Amino acid sequence: MQFQQRLGLFPRIMGKGDHAKRLADLLIRMRSELSAGDDTSGGSALDLTPSHSVESLIIIDRGVDFPTVLLTQLTYEGLIDEEYGINSNQVEIDSSIAGAPPLQVSQASSSSSAAAQTSSLKRKIILDGSDALYGTLRDANCAVVGPILNKVARRLQTTYDNRNTSAKSVNELREFVSKLPGYQAEHASLKLHTNLAEDIIKKTRSEIFTRLLEVQQNIAAGADPTTQHDNIEELIARNVPLPKVLRLLCLESTMSEGLRQRDLENFKRSVIQGYGHQHLLTLSALEKMGLLEPRLGGPFSSGGAQPGTITNYTLVRKNLHLIFDEVNEAEPDDIAYVFSGYSPLSVRLVQCILQKHYLLSLTAPRGATNQGTAASNASIGWKPFEDIIKQVRGTTFDETQTGEEKAVRARQMLNGSSHGDMGKTVIVFFLGGVSRAEIAALRFVAKQLREEGRARRLLICTTNIINGNLMMGAALEERSFAS
């Protein structure tokens, strides 16, 4: 509410999900209480007018789209988070990969023992804008990180090789020396990310990783999930880390409206026999979280369910074009690149509001492009996607805040009555956490909007940054607390 007091009311509050709707109702109620309190004091009437800098607030409930977080992220930053864990923009990496930290010893005699310990130490690396290359690499698909690094390495090598031939005068030499710290910082960043990328690529090329990714993508694409059960059983038999196995089971459950009772019991038995009887509590915790549940009806039985109670992925995949068979990872043309072919449903929902014409162009039949353009340009809120949005779990809402008439007129007199839409801010708030791959996808959406001439600043807010391992870790912690 303090945000609205400083910058004005959110002109529109839209979102999807039951908890998101409760948050929107709370914001509107707090605004009403503040307005009622100001009737007597008159102290902040201007704060209760629609903001001219913020266009809208979009709230996405995490419960609307669990599968996206359960999938393995395939952006560079996402894979770092998956494999090492990023905490407060910092990651701990073995010094054999990140390089040895500077030794701080007071006596020369202790330097040899300190050097011997270095190989087993972990080093904290900061991943933010201070890194010369990280901004370029973080949102790239892991498949193109190597070529990007190779291009940077060739450019730096050319710069160093030409320093003798190009710097013929003292002024030119002075100019090169002034740029040298930047080159050195970029060189250090290149060395770090080359080592880190090599280690990640080594992991992604392993047989286990490939098998896990194959099962995930088949389930996400809508293949019969029972065809993947033998692969999951094999992974359990090979003692793959439990969180990775649980992610597969929860992915099938959340995308297929639960597991068949017989299959669920078989997997529970395999997990308990393979990882220990204590994980009966882990499985129970996942069921309480709504991630691992038995199927109540027949296969894909959402036709008889009330709209908004479950997500009908059969319809949503087609109507929101979640699957891209030929995704361009080097030069992305859709958000599907962050999962190498799967478009996050959570971000597709945001596109239903901000990129209507683009989504219509993906699904409209040939010859209907002009009609789709007219419809998208004239539509606001969820239109014209209301019917398909109803097939997604959770409440759909669209609230408008107009403010007090007198306060609106006063604000217009102070700020001027004409305000263009270009450059306005759209706040996208993920209630329950957001993954780094989803953040990369939203940055891509902002880039597309700029290229379309409808620039918006997307401000991404969330309660937490999460991934599938953290979700499974929550269930494992609940098991440990219970025991």
> Which pLDDT score is estimated for 37?
67
Domains of the chain: 1-65+311-483 (3.40.50.1910), 93-101+111-201 (3.90.830.10), 207-301 (1.25.40.850)
User: What is the Cα Rg of the chain in Å?
Assistant: 26
> Which pLDDT score is estimated for 454?
86
> Which pLDDT score is estimated for 173?
61
Among candidate residues 406, 401, 398, the one with its CA nearest the CA of residue 32: 401
* pLDDT digit string (tens) for the chain, length 483 residues: 677 778 788 999 999 999 999 999 999 888 888 767 655 444 454 457 888 889 999 999 999 999 999 999 999 999 999 999 999 999 999 988 887 665 544 444 455 555 445 445 888 999 988 887 999 999 999 999 999 999 999 988 887 777 656 556 666 666 666 666 667 888 889 999 999 999 999 999 999 999 999 999 999 999 999 999 999 999 999 999 999 999 999 999 999 999 999 999 999 999 999 999 999 999 999 999 999 999 986 544 555 566 668 999 999 999 999 999 888 999 999 999 999 999 999 999 999 999 999 999 987 655 554 455 545 545 688 999 999 999 999 999 999 988 665 555 555 555 554 445 556 899 999 999 999 999 999 999 999 999 988 888 999 999 999 999 999 998 888 765 554
> Which pLDDT score is estimated for 202?
94
> Which pLDDT score is estimated for 479?
62
> Which pLDDT score is estimated for 168?
60
Name all contacts of 287-291 with Cβ < 8 Å and 24+ positions apart.
289/471, 289/474, 289/475, 290/63, 290/66, 291/66, 291/70, 291/250, 291/253, 291/254, 291/471, 291/475
Q: Is-contact 467 74, C-beta < 8 A? A: no
Residues 6+ apart with CB under 8 A from 392: 16, 64, 308, 311, 316, 345, 349
362: exposed, middle or buried (C-beta count within 10 Å: 0-12, 13-18, 19+)?
A: middle
pLDDT in tens, 195-247: 999 999 999 999 999 999 999 999 999 999 999 999 999 999 999 999 999 99
CA 5, distance to chain mean position in Å, is 29
SS3 12: strand
SS3 459: strand
Among candidate residues 448, 427, 467, 429, the one with its CA nearest the CA of residue 61: 429
Sheet with 54-61: strands ordered across: 396-400, 12-16, 54-61, 425-431, 457-462
Among candidate residues 163, 24, 136, the one with its CA nearest the CA of residue 76: 136
> Which pLDDT score is estimated for 109?
47
> Which pLDDT score is estimated for 417?
44
Angle between helix 229-237 and 261-275 (nearest 10)? 10
Going by DSSP bridges, is the β-strand pair 90-94/12-16 parallel, antiparallel, or unpaired? unpaired
pLDDT in tens, 31-59: 888 767 655 444 454 457 888 889 999 99
d(CA 67, CA 253): 9
> Which pLDDT score is estimated for 165?
61
Q: Which residue has the tokens 């003692």?
A: 239
> Which pLDDT score is estimated for 290?
93
Backbone φ and ψ of 434, nearest 5°: -140, 145
pLDDT in tens, 97-140: 887 665 544 444 455 555 445 445 888 999 988 887 999 999 99
- Output DSSP code: residue 72: P
